[in-house]
Amino acid sequence: MNRILLDITIALEAILANKVKTILTALGIIFGVAAVITMLAIGNGAQQEILNQMKLVGVNNIIIQPIKPDPNEDQNNKDKQKSSKFTPGLTINDVHGIKSVLPSVKDVCPQIIENKTLIRNGKSAPVKVIGTDNSFFSLFNKELKTGRLFNEFQQTHGLPVCIVTDQIKVSVFNNQNPIGKEIKCGDIWLTVIGVIEQIKIDNNSSELGLVKDNSVVYVPTQTMLLRFVNRALVTKKEIEEENMNDDEEEVTKTYQNYHQLDKIIVQVKESEQLKPTQAVLFKMLERLHNNVVDFEIIVPELLLQQQQKTRDIFNMVLGAIAGISLLVGGIGIMNIMLATVMERFKEIGIRMAVGARKKDILTQFVAEAALISLSGGIIGVMLGIISSHFVYSVTGIITIVSGWSVIISFGISVAIGIIFGYMPARKAATQDPIVSLRSE
């Protein structure tokens, strides 16, 4: 043990005597370790983001929403649409039909979304009013912070009550308790009965059927239909406007949303039933809508799983690139150590002449390579953590540095130092001491 410690001490003295060469040798390991940690941190962040989105969209949810026609479509398509079959659009009847027909369905939740202006004590703010029921909050994992959810009487009779988000509590009520107080949304006065905790939603989550809940007022579905809007009803005003448009030849008609509901969220009992239920839902709604496909069905979990596979492949490529940089760093150590052996033939000869064994020479040079990679690994770990935080602060990409990524990258760096340092060390240990002493 004393001889090994002595060999390591000599190796350390040799490293300290050649600081510039040591730093240059360790650069490959430093940047390799830093790259591996940063790439793994980006991968871990992407995985966590997918998990967060899965939590937001709920488990085993299917989202049905209307298809709005392209406003840039040509006149022929408009004429074709005008003469197409009648379709009622997404309605409450679709919700009842899905509940009663499909045994694989656990819960069904309707949504009606309208943009309104919230007014209270002279303050006004734009808000989204969403008509839904209590199942919405469990389907999308929204937790009630204070107050209570809608009761059955409020939902059935369409009473003017609402649940608001934390953002409204802060901006409109000055962070005071809003329970029991009234707000005006559009022309309707509503009594606040609950506050839900605000959840951050990614900007790219709209395709998953998510609505940003910064300023949202939730009301019962029946309240929305009775007091705000019911697009399934044809009003006298709409008939008059249609007649006026028919009388005028050159009138550009805008899209009129005839769907009573803006979304239907269907939760199935098991993940294996997502695709079969999606297919049955399409056939069922197509029949109810007179074979007019004016809706689309989105399965957020399947989309997220596909995104996860894509990101996993991308992370593997990034990890492979970072691993190559570590390999290049190991080759750099081997090259420098081979050059060092050539330069120190005389030193090797003197050590062997005074009693050093081949094993001692081997230990010395392996220890030098290991110490260089060890120090490079430590610096690389610190640089990797710093660069991960830098990536997040500059780009906003979530990065998570895990303990395993640090251990793995650090362990690989040390292993590379030992493996690639062994060949030069073996060459040094096999030198003839007489030949080594004669070298200049």
For 33, 164, 217, 345, 363, the CA distances from 193, given in Å and listed in that order, are: 54, 8, 11, 86, 75
- Which of 20-34, 112-126, 204-218, 289-303 is predicted with the least confidence, judged by mean pLDDT? 204-218
The residues, ordered by sequence, that sit 6+ positions from 28 with a Cβ below 8 Å of its Cβ are 325, 326, 328, 329, 330, 331, 332, 333, 376
User: What tokens does 298 get?
Assistant: 């989105």
More confident residue, 403 or 7: 403
Q: Which amino acid appears at position 14 of this protein?
A: A
More confident residue, 168 or 86: 168
Residue of 57, 69, 68, 65 lying closest to 296 (CA atoms): 65
User: What tokens does 399 get?
Assistant: 């990065």
More confident residue, 206 or 53: 53
Q: Count other Cβ atoms within 10 Å, centred on residue 167.
A: 16
Beta bridge partners of 66: 295
Q: At 251, is the pLDDT very low, low, confident or very high (cuts 50, 70, 90)?
A: very low
Please report which residue ranges of 289-432 form alpha helices under DSSP H. Answer: 300-343, 345-353, 358-395, 403-429
DSSP 226: I
Query: How far is 154 from 222, CA to CA, in rounded Å?
Result: 9
Q: Count other Cβ atoms within 10 Å, centred on residue 85.
A: 8
Each residue's pLDDT tens digit, 58-107 = 668 888 989 876 555 544 444 444 445 778 889 999 999 898 888 888 88
Strands 216-220 and 123-132: parallel
- Per-residue burial over 186-217, b if 16 or more Cβ lie within 10 Å, else e, is bebebebbbbbebbebeeebeebbbbbbbbbb
- Tokens 């044809």 -> residue: 234
Residue 216, sorted as left (phi over 0), alpha (psi -120 to 50) or beta, turns out to be: beta
Question: At residue 264, what are phi and psi to the nearest 5 degrees?
Answer: -130, 120
Question: Residue 374: its pLDDT value, please?
Answer: 85
Q: At 6, is the pLDDT very low, low, confident or very high (cuts 50, 70, 90)?
A: low
Query: How far is 321 from 358, CA to CA, in rounded Å?
Result: 38
Q: At 224, is the pLDDT very low, low, confident or very high (cuts 50, 70, 90)?
A: very high
Residue 209 has pLDDT above 60, yes or no: no
Torsion sign (Cα): 51, 53, 56, 62: negative
CB 381 within 8 A of CB 409: yes
Residue of 11, 26, 41 lying closest to 392 (CA atoms): 41
Q: Per the confidence metrics, is the pTM higher than 0.85? A: no
Query: How far is 227 from 219, CA to CA, in rounded Å?
Result: 10
Strands 123-132 and 105-120: antiparallel
For 11, 129, 200, 206, 271, the CA distances from 203, given in Å and listed in that order, are: 55, 20, 9, 7, 26
Each residue's pLDDT tens digit, 379-397 = 888 998 998 888 888 887 7
Each residue's pLDDT tens digit, 268-288 = 888 788 888 889 999 999 988
Question: Residue 78: its pLDDT value, please?
Answer: 47
The most confident of 28-32, 234-238, 385-389, by mean pLDDT: 385-389
CB 183 within 8 A of CB 120: yes
Question: Residue 270: its pLDDT value, please?
Answer: 83
Residue 333 has pLDDT above 80, yes or no: no
Q: At 316, is the pLDDT very low, low, confident or very high (cuts 50, 70, 90)?
A: confident
Please report which residue ranges of 102-235 form alpha helices under DSSP H. Answer: 135-139, 152-157, 166-171, 221-223
- Which of 73-77, 151-155, 208-212, 320-324 is predicted with the least confidence, judged by mean pLDDT? 73-77
